[in-house]
Amino acid sequence: MIQAEILSVGTELLLGNIVDTNQAFLSAELAKIGIAVYHRQTCGDNRERLEDAVRLALSRSELVLITGGLGPTYDDITKETVASVLQLPLEENAAVAEKLRAFFAALGREMTPNNLSQALIPKGAAILENDWGTAPGIWIEKDGRTVVMMPGVPREMKPMYRERVAPLLQKRSGVVLHSVTLHLYGIGESDVDAVLRHEMETGCNPTIAPYAKEGEVELRITAKAEKIEEAERLCRETERNLFAKLGQFIYSDRDRKLHEVLIERFCRGKNTLALAEGFTGGKMAAALCQTENAFSVFKGGVVFDPENAPEAVFGSGRASDSPEEYVLHLAQQVREKFQTTAALAVIGTLDPEKATAEMPFGTGVIAAVYRDRKICRRFQFSRGIKEKEYLRTLASLRSMATLLQITGLFCEKPPEKE
């Protein structure tokens, strides 16, 4: 198994100005093609420490992927530093220089000399063309080690990895890893751990690992084989075992979130959805809109201050109703306005100053309507938690799970016997 190491370069990372998402992306992508990441490092734009980091990586990992520090500014030193560690001179690459000139000409902007520095390439290195920005990636092989340098901006790095780097690495790795992630809602991590302890401790291929996510648990099954078909078969076998034990909590067996499952299953049954978000603050609408085919299901939603639901949208009637009656009214109103088969409404108390004995801070009241069915439930989301965004996330998940449950679309089916 090829041992890889990921090195992120950038003082902005060490200052905590941005979260490094590249390491997780590359880790996951490498795992898919059976390349093991045993080490990750982060280093600032400092020549001496970067040299140390590169030397350490080369001493223990045959494949080193470096992101960041390839740009045109004075603190971009990755290329020079790696070239110096590997004792390779830098040379201007004519094709890259030409492409840079064309890029700036097309933008109608003048190319400054610092931009041209992006065309300096270590001798003998291969260029990884950058169709998503200006700094090209670089692939160097020397003394049995491979160093791959890519830009740090995720929008450039990700497609460059997928289109330029992954195909070369896949060829080199003879192993395939296959992972299946089961998404569970309604059960805690330690309960999953208790049920599956034996399988987790004894299983080595596939392995099973639980991860606590916000309000959910994921179970990741990972199998290793020479051929993808065999890895997939191993995963399915384990999956059937897990469905037998925890099936009632499993809402998805692919890497899909609850909102994606909702869109997919509603789409299949030609059902449509409207939202009234007086607690979740647009979180559900934003999540649904990010999903493929969103608008074949999600026809629209209203986001509003629960203390000031606009009468022009929802009509009047707040004063006399209980929260339950009122939230049901809201769900029916948006279903009518957006002409959908189903609707969800959530109201509640997220403003500590507006908390009452009847509705303490963190109380959410959810209504789901679907054809002739309707359900209304009250939940205490806080339990000592004060962060509103987290409470909104919990309420969003609970709302969508409630709707999937009343429509009978919550549970995923286990894979069929072979």
Give, as ranges, the residues between 325 and 344 that touch its own copies (CB under 8 A).
336-339
Closer Cβ to its own copies, 194 or 319, answer by number: 194
**Can you read off the two tokens belonging to residue 76?**
């971009």
Counting residues that bind its own copies (by CB under 8 A) gives 91
Tell me: does residue 285 bind its own copies (CB under 8 A). Answer: yes
Q: Which of 98, 141, 305, 321 binds its own copies (CB under 8 A)?
A: 305
Site for its own copies in 138-167 (CB under 8 A): 153, 155
Closer Cβ to its own copies, 21 or 322, answer by number: 21
Cα 72 → chain centroid: 29
Exposure of 396 in the CB half-sphere (CA atoms within 13 A): 23
**Can you read off the two tokens belonging to residue 95?**
């094709």
Site for its own copies in 32-91 (CB under 8 A): 37-44, 46, 49, 53, 56, 72-75
**Can you read off the two tokens belonging to residue 386?**
């004060």
**Can you read off the two tokens belonging to residue 18?**
């941005």
Single out the segment in contact with its own copies by CB under 8 A; choices: 85-93, 233-241, 286-294, 318-326: 286-294
Q: Which of 116, 120, 195, 200 binds its own copies (CB under 8 A)?
A: 200
Closest approach of its own copies to the CB of residue 87, in Å:
24
What span, in angstroms and rounded, lies between the C-alpha atoms of 169 and 30? 9
Tell me: does residue 257 bind its own copies (CB under 8 A). Answer: no
Closest approach of its own copies to the CB of residue 123, in Å:
28
CA separation (Å) from 356 to 132, 281, 349, 352, 366? Answer: 53, 20, 9, 9, 18
Closer Cβ to its own copies, 50 or 140, answer by number: 50
Q: DSSP letter at 364? A: E
Q: How, if at all, do strands 342-348 and 363-370 pair?
A: antiparallel
Closer Cβ to its own copies, 42 or 241, answer by number: 42
Q: Which of 307, 358, 360, 373 binds its own copies (CB under 8 A)?
A: 307
Comparing C-alpha atoms, which of 177, 183, 178, 179 is closest to residue 253? Answer: 183
Site for its own copies in 14-33 (CB under 8 A): 14-21, 23-31
What span, in angstroms and rounded, lies between the C-alpha atoms of 70 and 187? 45
Q: Quick check: 199 and 208 in contact, CB under 8 A?
A: yes
Q: Where are the beta strands (DSSP E) in 129-196?
A: 137-142, 145-150, 176-184
Give DSSP secondary structure letters for 276-295. Answer: EESSSTTHHHHHHHTSTTHH
Comparing C-alpha atoms, which of 285, 317, 290 is closest to residue 302? Answer: 285
Binding mask 341-360 for its own copies (x = CB under 8 A): ----------x---------
Closer Cβ to its own copies, 139 or 390, answer by number: 390
Closest approach of its own copies to the CB of residue 22, in Å:
9
Tell me: does residue 300 bind its own copies (CB under 8 A). Answer: yes
Closest approach of its own copies to the CB of residue 304, in Å:
4
Q: Which of 55, 102, 112, 322 binds its own copies (CB under 8 A)?
A: 112
**What are the start-end ranges of the H helices in 174-227?**
189-202
Q: Which of 243, 249, 251, 304 binds its own copies (CB under 8 A)?
A: 304
Closer Cβ to its own copies, 140 or 223, answer by number: 223
Tell me: does residue 380 bind its own copies (CB under 8 A). Answer: no
